Amino acid sequence: MISKAPKFKPRFRLHPVAILNSQRLRRSLADTYDQKSFYKYAIGLILLLLSIGSLYYTDKLVEELEQREEREVQLYAEGLRYVFNSPFDENFNVVYQVIQDAVNFYQIPAIYVNENNLANQYINISFPKKISPQEKERIIQEKLADMKLEHPPIPVELGKNRTGYIYYSNSFLLTQLRYYPFLQLSVMLFIGYLAYLAFSSERKAEQNRVWVGLAKETAHQLGTPLSSLMAWVEYFRSDPAIDPSIAEEIEKDVIRLEMITTRFSNIGSVPTLKEEPVSEIVANFIDYLEKRVSSKVKFSVYNQLAKEQTVLLNKNLFEWVIENICKNAVDAMGGIGEIHVTLQAPPLMKEVWIDIRDTGKGMSKANMNKIFNPGFSTKKRGWGLGLTLAKRIIENYHLGKLYVKSSEIGKGTTFRISLRATIIE
């Protein structure tokens, strides 16, 4: 006969094969994320190389076209010299027309300034209809000023120490070609961005399907042994030879396992959200947690919210998030330290912030970027799933935000949960 319940400390031990498998799975999850960033960088590099190639090629084209245009203007200069020095006055218009046509092929705007500094010939300059001579002169002078900045003039030797000058600017085609690579680059970047969005949203959807399937299957598999355990509890209870406190202890654990199973099955379905008194839920849950972790961890809750402040919550899932963050905090402080939870509503933001600050070892900037990736863990037996799930629960189901507000090596870390506040009437 057992007179006294044996003092047993339930200890959770994983079979060595299970540990090995868990480590493999964790590594493969982490690898998936490394691969993802590899593809991101590879696509970025290809885009960069294409852009450099395109810029280089267009630059060559621009250079060549610029040289051709300069030759055309020189031809124009030659033509003018020929015309001005021609003894055959009657042929002036015919020759001038031939030269103009040649330059017109490239549509290069050009102005001839004679030896007395008068701009008396021009080509490819458009004027509005019905324009006064003064207005026309003003436009020519403006264009001339721009051309002087653009290219050095081409001299037209007229003999007897007389020199005129032709000023010109790039043709419309050349100007467009200069901007073309930037246009091309923007289009390419835009297409790259769209492709990346499509790619990553498809990956996310796939990951979500895997999570949901895994969680549902786990909940389903746990169902049968749980009901069998419940039956065993009843059996122990009915046997007067067995200390009733054993049945009680086992029942507590079974209830806890049932709660975990419910949480897992909740992951699959769209959880129902209810208006809940958030400060009360947090305070009660911290109270519950405090009793279950080492007495060397001191918890404190500072509530700055109005008592009637509610938030749309799924209580079960939300408590799970708090539990995960606090468990990590306890791990980070090696079981000794403080956890401060502050609830506040920033003015004009319709949000409720729940800050969970610990006095643990903190984390490096590099790790801070990875902690929400599935499979990332710095713990010997960590799965690297706690924060991933917590983030999904807050961001996908509660449309809130979960992030590291601050962290300092050796000092501690603060996580912030930001939720949408319901309006207080």
Give the interface with ligand ATP as residue ranges (CB under 6 A): 324, 328-329, 332, 358, 360-363, 371, 376-379, 382-388, 413
Given a contact cutoff of 8 angstroms between Cβ atoms, the answer to whether 133 and 120 are in contact is: no
Alpha helices in 86-114 (DSSP H): 92-104
Eight-state DSSP code of residue 397: I
Nearer to ligand ATP, 20 or 45 (CB): 20
User: Which residue lies nearest Mg ion, judged by its C-beta?
Assistant: 386
What does the angle CA 355 – CA 315 – CA 303 come to, to the nearest 5 degrees?
35
Name which of Mg ion, ligand ATP, none residue 379 binds, using a CB cut-off of 5 to 8 Å depending on partner kind.
ligand ATP
User: Which contiguous run of DSSP H or E holds residue 332?
Assistant: helix 315-332
Nearer to ligand ATP, 233 or 371 (CB): 371
Given a contact cutoff of 8 angstroms between Cβ atoms, the answer to whether 73 and 171 are in contact is: no
Residue from 328, 359, 407, 414 touching Mg ion (CB under 5 A): that is: 328
| HEC string for 66-86 | HHHHHHHHHHHHHHHHHHHHC
Nearer to ligand ATP, 378 or 406 (CB): 378
Name which of Mg ion, ligand ATP, none residue 106 binds, using a CB cut-off of 5 to 8 Å depending on partner kind.
none
Coil, strand or helix at 336: coil
Nearer to Mg ion, 337 or 386 (CB): 386
Residue from 153, 374, 386, 412 touching Mg ion (CB under 5 A): that is: 386
- Min CB(283)–ligand ATP separation in Å: 21
Please report where in the chains the tokens 């120490």 appear, as a residue.
161
Nearer to ligand ATP, 37 or 141 (CB): 37
Residues 6+ apart with CB under 8 A from 301: 282, 283, 286, 340, 341, 342, 343
Name which of Mg ion, ligand ATP, none residue 414 binds, using a CB cut-off of 5 to 8 Å depending on partner kind.
none
Encoded tokens for 264: 């897992």
- Min CB(338)–ligand ATP separation in Å: 12
Name which of ligand ATP, Mg ion, none residue 363 binds, using a CB cut-off of 5 to 8 Å depending on partner kind.
ligand ATP
Q: Is 373 in the site for Mg ion (CB under 5 A)?
A: no
Q: Report how far residue 275's alpha carbon sits from residue 312's, in angstroms, rounded to the nearest whole number.
A: 4
Q: Where on the chain is the footprint of Mg ion (CB under 5 A)?
A: 328, 386
